[in-house]
Structure 1
Amino acid sequence: MQERNLGRTGLRVSRTGLGTMTWGTATDEHEARDQLIAFVEAGGNLVDTANVYGAGASEELLGSLVGDVVPREELVIATKAGFGLRRGQRVYDTSRGYLLSTLDLSLRRLGVDHVDLWQMHVWDDGTPLDETLAALDTAVSSGRAAYVGISNYTGWQTAQAATWQQAVPGRAQLASTQMEYSLVNRAIEAEVLPAAAACGLGVLPYSPLGKGVLTGKYRGGIPSDSRGASEHAGKIEAYLDEGSRGIVESVVRAADGLGWTPLEVALVWVRDRPGVTAPIVGSRTTVQLKAALGAEDKELPPEIRAALDDVSESAA
């Protein structure tokens, strides 16, 4: 698998990342083990998790495999923080104390002394930005994180955070931003992508398959045994409207013409967009993951890419 630099850093990551949101919940330890082996054997190294995934189960499961199944040095481990639990309800909390305690807990779950990329999962209006960013500085200066990034920040939030970190020598520079991006959701193109490019951030798209809609499996509705019907999947109804259906049909036609799968068409489109470093692919099963890894050696013809750009313009 080809590798790319993460933003303006020297960190090299595979151009497809492995997402682990379902690990420890919909994906059991056996499937997780097989997924990690298949991913690394395909040349992948970027594995993305978060403290909130499965209330820590994802990190714990990944940690049980690091060193045992795959050597630590072969992985770029990325995790996130910023969600807290109050009386059983999820809340935003990016206060310095909470973030650093969360990072320490993530390190224990993962069984490592540092993560390669630590990301702020959300923007928190309740905490001053300089306090949140100070936690990133501490994480890097203490050796608990090699690089830091953000996730789910708007364009102006991205620019403000990155500029603050660049303003004073010694602060931890932001390496990346993680945002939803696919043919059925191109909203980040208006402000986030330009901000990331101007500030030197790599972009790690999540849900590059539109929560699975772009694979074509929901054309006849939501199967009861699909991820779309799972409580872990997030709502996909927004991508089942008439506009999205038209995009899906175009992806299916392109796949038929190329002899590819719709998944491969949708994934390659995102992977090779300007500014993108690596889409994060989350799969419940190893079979699904291997289907995504099959896109590695593919490249969309310019005329098909242009046609998909045009048909999905409404999603921008």
Structure 2
Amino acid sequence: MESRRVGRSGLTVSRLGLGTMTWGRDTDADDAAAQLESFVGSGGTLIDTANIYGDGDAEAIIGTLVPDVVPRSDVVLATTTVGVGGGRGRLLAALDESLRRLGTDHVDLWQVHGYDGAVPFEETCAVLRTAVDSGRARYVGVSGFTGWQLATFATALRSPAGVSLVSAEAEYSLADRSPEESLLPAAHAHGVGLIGWAPLGRGVLTGKYRHGTPADSRGASPHFARYVGRHRTDHTARIVEAVATAAEGLGTSPLAVACAWVRDRPGVSAVVVGARDNAQLQGSLAGQDLVLPAEIVSALADVSDPDGDEDL
């Protein structure tokens, strides 16, 4: 699997990341172990998690699998702290709790989610510096930021301490191209790499919802129905048909087409895919080497243009 640098930093990750949002809830430890083995066996390195996934159980499962199932040196552990605000005490306590659950003394990438306007941004930036200086995190990034928020943090971190903001995590797919408005331009200007999550439009772009809601899908899950429903619009339905047509012409799957389109967009360091079980993960791994012809890239960009439909 191809690896890429995250922005202009020295951090290198596989361009496909393994998401763990379902771990500890819909995916048990045995299924998680099978996914991890398959992913690393295919050359994947980036393991993406968060303190809120499964109320912490996802991190705890990773802590039981690394290094017992795969060596710690074979993976890039990235965790995101969500829901604690931007204050020093809560952020550092949450990071320490994540490290405890993960069973490690450091993460390779720590991201903080959400700009907290109630806390001076200098305080949150100081926490990111502390995480790096103390060895708790090798690199730091943000999640759920706008372009100006990212630019503010990136500038503040560089001076005077010289710590770089290396990543910005955001939802990005043919069904949600909002990072192109301000986030991607700001990331490019500051040497920050985008890590895109939900590259399959929360599963909608695979075509599984074209004729209804499968009983075993996330769209039928009480945890994720609203999460999936956001993209079940007329605009996205047209994108799904275009993706299916492209996949048929290329002799591949809609999943592979949708993932490859966003994976290879300018400024994207990696995309994160989640799977309920190892069989689902195999679909993502099978399409990892697909390179879309330029005319298909352009056609999909046209049909998914958010300015061309008011539903997005």
- TM-score, scaled relative to structure 2: 0.96
The alpha-carbon deviation at position 232 of structure 1 amounts to 3.0
| Paired letter, 1:125 | G
Contact 1:223–1:229 (CA<8 Å) still a contact in 2?
yes
Structural mapping, 1:273-284, within 5 Å: 273-284=265-276
Structure 1 residues 241-267: Cα deviation after superposition (integer angstroms, max 9, x where no partner): 111100000000000111010000000
CA distance in structure 2 between the partners assigned to 1:232 and 1:137 by the alignment = 35
CA distance in structure 2 between the partners assigned to 1:214 and 1:200 by the alignment = 30
The alpha-carbon deviation at position 167 of structure 1 amounts to 2.8
1:127 corresponding residue in structure 2: 119
Structure 1 residues 122-174: Cα deviation after superposition (integer angstroms, max 9, x where no partner): 21122111111111100000000000000000111111111111232x24210
CA distance in structure 1 between the partners assigned to 2:223 and 2:45 by the alignment = 25
2:37 corresponding residue in structure 1: 37
The alignment-based identity, stated in percent, is: 53
Q: Report whether the alignment pairs 1:220 with 2:211.
A: yes
The alpha-carbon deviation at position 236 of structure 1 amounts to 2.2
Q: RMSD of the alignment, in Å?
A: 1.1
1:2 corresponding residue in structure 2: 2
| Paired letter, 2:38 | A
Unaligned runs of 5+ in 1: 85-92
CA distance in structure 2 between the partners assigned to 1:180 and 1:71 by the alignment = 29
1:61 corresponding residue in structure 2: 61
Which aligned runs of 4 or more in structure 1 are off by greater than 4 angstroms? none
Q: Report whether the alignment pairs 1:289 with 2:281.
A: yes
1:205 corresponding residue in structure 2: 196
CA distance in structure 2 between the partners assigned to 1:2 and 1:48 by the alignment = 17
Structure 1 residues 55-96: Cα deviation after superposition (integer angstroms, max 9, x where no partner): 110000011000100000111000011314xxxxxxxx2211
Structural mapping, 1:167-182, within 5 Å: 167-168=159-160, 170-182=161-173
The number of residue pairs the alignment matches comes to 307
Question: The residue matched to 1:13 in structure 2 has which SS?
Answer: strand
Among 240, 244, 250, the residue aligned to 1:248? 240
CA distance in structure 2 between the partners assigned to 1:22 and 1:171 by the alignment = 36
CA distance in structure 2 between the partners assigned to 1:104 and 1:167 by the alignment = 26
Structural mapping, 1:1-316, within 5 Å: 1-84=1-84, 93-168=85-160, 170-233=161-224, 234-314=226-306
CA distance in structure 2 between the partners assigned to 1:291 and 1:225 by the alignment = 16
CA distance in structure 2 between the partners assigned to 1:30 and 1:232 by the alignment = 21
CA distance in structure 1 between the partners assigned to 2:29 and 2:141 by the alignment = 28
